Structures are given as structure tokens and as C-alpha cells.
Amino acid sequence: MFRKILFWIHLSAGVLSGLVVLMMSVTGVILTYERQILAWQEENAYFNEPANDQTRLPVEQLLTNGNDEEFTASSVAYYNDPASPAILRAGRSGSRYLNPYTGEILPPASETLDNFFSAVTGWHRWFNISGDGRGTARDITGAANLMFLFLVISGLYLWLPNIYNWNTMKLRLWFHPNAKTSAARDFNWHHVWGFWLAIPLAVVVATATVFNYSWANNLVYQLAGEEPPQRGGGGSGGNRGSEADSTIVQQLAYDDLMAVAATHLDDWRMLTMTIPAATAETVSFSIDQGNGGEPQKRHTLVLDARNGEVSAWQPFSSQSPGRQARSWVRFLHTGEALGLFGQTLAGLASFAGVILVWTGLALCYRRFRKWLKRTFRNSSSAQDEASSLNTVATDSQG
């Protein structure tokens, strides 16, 4: 009885969320190697070997060249490669690439490719809706994702056959050569893809739940044994200065501070400096030793802005368990935390989502069609029987 009830809940949840989950799964497949594709695009467009006599312009000069009325950089970043551009970022408002030797603002590498991935990401998260409707769209994708998590977990239980023997297990463990009809193929694929990719798919879907619901985000910290941070709470604010103290601080040149930070680790890949306020006594750096999506290789360095001495060194390992877990969640969703292998596994999990939704809806449609035929046949039989009884009654009265 429990299995039957669970099956019908599983089927109902699949029908309700199927098309939305299909959309998120398809876009998830497309986004699998987004980081590598954009990095390849940047390398071809922005990386140029400097002439022997060229030296990088001061960071202050790059900020002067890159900032204008529409763009004010909040950070500046370099790759550990003399051929790389300087990257100015304005929070989430965008970024600009500059030739670090001439100060020239470089044109976008490929607006078409950037816009494509931006649109796919928008569809993945909220149907690419902007404005006031985005919140509602995100509620829908969040609810569909939560139902998908239930489908994955309940599907693992329903995968178990009623009768355990090798013949029934073969149909659920691997692609069966005798599954030649569309119904048999859909049944076989639904079980095979669901079994082999259930765990990575559950990770991808569960981590997405953390992005959509505050209770799920808080649960990550609670499972790590600490209180969730309060949203909207202020940080240390070292880079921005104290509101009570508006005294201008005599800071070292940004280039000197960058040079100190660059020597803190030898094998860094990207160094990012948050632009400090004129009143700030410290300046923060992010030192990334990985591909940008590996949280365990991202560290924070805080220097005294006046003399370049180390005020705080915060490698990933020094973070609280809750913060570490939350960072892992962000990049486990895309698989990037585990490198190229993890991205490939996450992409396969998304592809499995496509197969599971498609085959699940097909199986549901066939079940519904059979039910209609059976209902129509039973109704016709009942009508024929009633007609026969009426005929007999009429004959007997005559």
C-alpha cells in the first residue's frame, strides 16, 4: 500500500513539475562548460604578449581610464600571466577589460556568446523574466526544483523491483537490447539513467534548493554546527573605512599593495584587490589558486593599507565549517568544485534529468491513454448491457 501511494505521489509531482524541470535540465546541460568556453574566448581576445620594454601602468591610472559616469570599479584583478588583461569589476553591474600596458579599454570579446550564456542562465533560474515578474518566476522554478528533489529520492525507492531476480534487475541496471518498443525503451531508460546518476543528480538538485529557500540555506549552517548568519548584517567593512572616522589615510600605492599580495602565495592564478575607501586602514585581496570555481583554492588576505603589513591571512581552511559548507554548495551545484570531472558529472546529471522527465511523461501519457480506453470500453459494455436489459424487459411486457 505504501509503495502504491508513493508511486501516485511521485507520478503527480512529475506531471506538475515536468516541463519546468525539463527546461532547467536542458539549460543545465548547455551551461556545463560555460566557464571553459568563456575562458577560451577571453584568452583569444584579451591575452597578448607585451613588448620587451613594456611595463604595466599603475592601477590608479587604469582606474582613471576605466571609470566613467556609468561605471565605477569596485575591484581590480590580474591573472598570473603577463599577457593577461587587467579586469575592472563594478560589483554585479559588469566588468571591463583593459590593456594593462596602454590603458586601452578592450571591446567585448564576443557579445553574442556572452548574451547567449546570460540568456540561458536567465532561463535556468527564472524563465529569463526581468522586472517584477522575476520573483514569481523564481518561486515557480524553486517549487519545481523542490518537487524534483522529491522525485529523485522517491524514485530510488520505487526503482527497487517487487521481485528480486536477475531478469528484473537487468532491466533496471543497464540498457536492454530487447527493449525495442517505445514503451519498453522508456521504461528501461527511465530506470537505468535514474539509477546510475541518482546521487550526482540529487546533489545538483539539493544544492539548488539552498539558493531558492532561506530555510535550506540556514540548514547548511545548522548541519555544520553553527548559527546561520543574519541577512543584511554588516561585515567588517575594513576596505570601506569607518563612518565615524572620516580621516583620510595615507595609503601605499595600489601597485605596491598588489606586489605584496602577489608574493604571499607563489602559485596563485588570479589576484583581486577590492578598491579601498580613502579612509580605510586595510585593503582586502582574494587569491585564487584554482579555476575560479574551486572554493578550497580561494583565500583572503588583508593588508595594512598604510605599510603593506599582513593584518589577516584567511585561507579557505581557516573559515568556519558553515562558511566552508556554503561555499562548497555553490560550486557543487555546477560541479566546478571538483574540477573538469565534476563539471562533466553535473552535466551528465542534468542530461539524466532530461531523459527522466521525457521518459516519465511518456510513460504517464501511455498510462493515461490506457485508462481512457479502459474507461470508454467499460462504459460501452455497461451501456450495451443496459440496452440488452431494456430489450428483454420490453419483450417480456409485450
What is the average pLDDT across 188-193? 94
Report the 10 Å Cβ neighbour count for 139: 12
What is the average pLDDT across 262-279? 94
Average predicted confidence (pLDDT) for the chain = 90
pLDDT(245) > 80:
no
From 60, 106, 58, select the one nearest 84 (Cα to Cα): 106
Q: Is 23 helix (H, G, I), strand (E, B) or coil?
A: helix
Q: Which are the contacts of 73, defined by CB distance < 8 A and separation ≥ 6? A: 63, 66, 67, 88, 89, 90, 96, 275
Looking at residue 235, its pLDDT comes to 45
Looking at residue 232, its pLDDT comes to 58
Lowest mean per-residue pLDDT among 82-86, 270-274, 349-353: 82-86
pLDDT(363) > 70:
yes
Q: Is 393 helix (H, G, I), strand (E, B) or coil?
A: helix
Q: Are the C-beta atoms of 353 and 39 separated by less than 8 Å? A: no
pLDDT(339) > 60:
yes
pLDDT(238) > 60:
no
Specify the DSSP class assigned to residue 318: G
Q: What is the pLDDT of residues 117-145, one digit of tens each?
A: 999 999 999 999 988 899 999 999 999 99
Report the C-alpha gap between 171 and 165 in whole angstroms.
Answer: 11
pLDDT(237) > 50:
no
What is the average pLDDT across 7-32? 96
pLDDT(336) > 80:
yes
From 349, 296, 289, select the one nearest 319 (Cα to Cα): 296
pLDDT band at 234 (very low <50, low <70, confident <90, very high): very low
> Model pTM?
0.85
From 260, 312, 256, select the one nearest 282 (Cα to Cα): 312
Q: What is the largest CA-CA distance in the chain?
A: 119
pLDDT(48) > 60:
yes
Report the C-alpha gap between 114 and 34 in whole angstroms.
Answer: 10
From 152, 143, 123, 202, select the one nearest 356 (Cα to Cα): 152
What is the average pLDDT across 372-385? 76
From 64, 89, 57, 85, select the one nearest 76 (Cα to Cα): 89
Q: Are the C-beta atoms of 335 and 343 separated by less than 8 Å? A: yes
pLDDT(312) > 90:
yes
* Letter string b/e over residues 56-85, b meaning 16 or more CB atoms within 10 A of that residue's CB: bbbbeebbebbeeeeeebebbbbbbeeebb
The fraction of the chain above a pLDDT of 90, given in percent, is 72
pLDDT(34) > 70:
yes
pLDDT(240) > 60:
no
Q: What is the pLDDT of residues 55-113, one digit of tens each?
A: 999 999 999 999 998 899 999 999 999 999 999 999 877 899 999 999 999 988 878 89
What is the end-to-end Cα distance of the chain in Å, rounded?
A: 52
Looking at residue 397, its pLDDT comes to 58
What is the average pLDDT across 266-288? 95
pLDDT(230) > 60:
yes
Element (H, E) at 256: helix 254-262
Element (H, E) at 286: strand 282-288
Looking at residue 45, its pLDDT comes to 86
Looking at residue 236, its pLDDT comes to 45
Dihedral sign, Cα of residue 371, residue 377, residue 380, residue 382: negative
Q: What angle do CA 300, 252, 54 make, to 5 degrees?
A: 90
Report the C-alpha gap between 368 and 90 in whole angstroms.
Answer: 53
